[in-house]
Structure 1
Amino acid sequence: MYFAALLARTEDGWEASDLELDDVESLTDLIDLARSAAVDDEPVVALIEQEDAWFGVMRLDGEEDPRYFVSNASVAGRSSYGSMLTKELLGSDEEDDELDELDLDGTEDGEEESVTAFADEDDDTDPPLGTGSEPLPAGPFGDLGLLNDLGVSPKQLTALQGDALSEIAESLGATEVLEAVR
């Protein structure tokens, strides 16, 4: 199960909107939704989490390129929306505009709906792979400083666990607006 929201800064503070993931079939769709929520060149932060297993952040500032962070690339790479972010972070040249490999709940067809946050040593399944044959990192991955100027230091970002999105919103001063869409 995913939760996703957009936080857009305005001159009056932050505005939050529920991010309809049904409308997101590609990273381009996510970027377009974030751009449509932007007020002038103020930052927009897209927050995505999957059952407290991982969370991801995408930040847009005006017409600049988006910046990304995932809390655990290995776990995120096993889900449809997480794999979009990790592929972008790895600089994958593959054009996977459609999320055909995984259902929107993050599981492959016929697979049980469960999320394992940590791999078991006896687990015979292979970890998700990056652009080469190397496994995705089992931990934070991406732009650690993407929220630094908004009150979340790289050290804080990498230490977040549990309800990380609420902690990010609290640091941004957007707790009430995020909880209103939750």
Structure 2
Amino acid sequence: MYFAALLARTEDGWEASDTELDDVETLSDLSDLAREALAAADAEDDTVLVFIEQEDAWFGVVRVDGEDDPRIFISDAAAAARSSYGEILLTDELLGKDPDAADDDLDALDLDGTEDGESRAADGEDGDEASGGAGDEVVPAGPLGDTEILADLGFPEKELLALDGTDALSEIADVLGAAEVLETVR
């Protein structure tokens, strides 16, 4: 079960709206959705947060500030990699991959997806990492992304990293002063 909400900062505080991600296929689509929420909220500030959560397994926060590139934090990248919504957030840039190198890498792989002489266990098959969807790339377990995504809003990096999946988004919203509006859409 997933939960997704948009929080747009207005002159009267935060405004929340739940959102369907069924038509969202890329991070660009998600960013466009966030910018539309800003326009609809007639927001004075051009900051919108997208909260995505999968039943205590992982959560993600995407921050869109005006036309800037979105900033992303994922609580557990390996868990998110097993989710269609998580895969939207796990961009090549976030994973530290060069998107142009993907075609070159295919030439060096054996039919089982390993490099010549490399065993499958070397690819993280020991449970510490997860294979993602497209390309079966290895995704690290644990937090990934911009750990200071909420620092200027009063939620420091240390507290963000200490959150587990249980009620994490509610804790963030509480510190931001948006707990009540978030609960109205939950």
TM range (shorter): 0.7 to 0.9
Determine the structure 2 residue equivalent to 1:100.
none
Question: Per-residue deviation at 1:40?
Answer: 4.4
Unaligned runs of 5+ in 1: 95-119
Superposition TM-score, scaled by structure 2 size: 0.75
User: Higher helix share goes to which structure?
Assistant: 2
1:78 aligns with 2:73: no
Determine the structure 1 residue equivalent to 2:103.
none
* Correspondences of 1:1-182 after superposition (within 5 Å): 1-38=1-38, 39-88=43-92, 89-90=94-95, 93=99, 127-129=130-132, 135-161=138-164, 162-182=166-186
AA at the equivalent of 1:76:
A
AA at the equivalent of 1:148:
A
AA at the equivalent of 1:84:
I
The size of the alignment, in residue pairs, is: 156
Q: Is the 8 A contact 2:11 2:44 kept in 1?
A: no
SS for the counterpart of 1:21 is: coil
**1:56-101 Cα shifts (integer Å, max 9, x gaps):** 000011111110000001111111111111125125538xxxxxxx
Query: In the aligned structure 1, how far is the partner of 2:182 from the partner of 2:11?
Result: 17
Unaligned runs of 5+ in 2: 101-124
Query: In the aligned structure 1, how far is the partner of 2:140 from the partner of 2:21?
Result: 25
Query: In the aligned structure 2, how far is the partner of 1:179 from the partner of 1:55?
Result: 16
Q: Is the 8 A contact 1:8 1:44 kept in 2?
A: yes
Q: Is the 8 A contact 2:129 2:141 kept in 1?
A: no
Q: Is the 8 A contact 2:81 2:131 kept in 1?
A: yes
Query: In the aligned structure 2, how far is the partner of 1:63 from the partner of 1:138?
Result: 30
Distance of aligned partners of 1:63 and 1:126 in 2 relative to their CA distance in 1, 3 Å threshold: closer
Greater CA radius of gyration, 1 or 2?
A: 2
SS for the counterpart of 2:182 is: helix
Distance of aligned partners of 1:91 and 1:19 in 2 relative to their CA distance in 1, 3 Å threshold: farther
Superposition TM-score, scaled by structure 1 size: 0.77
SS for the counterpart of 1:22 is: coil
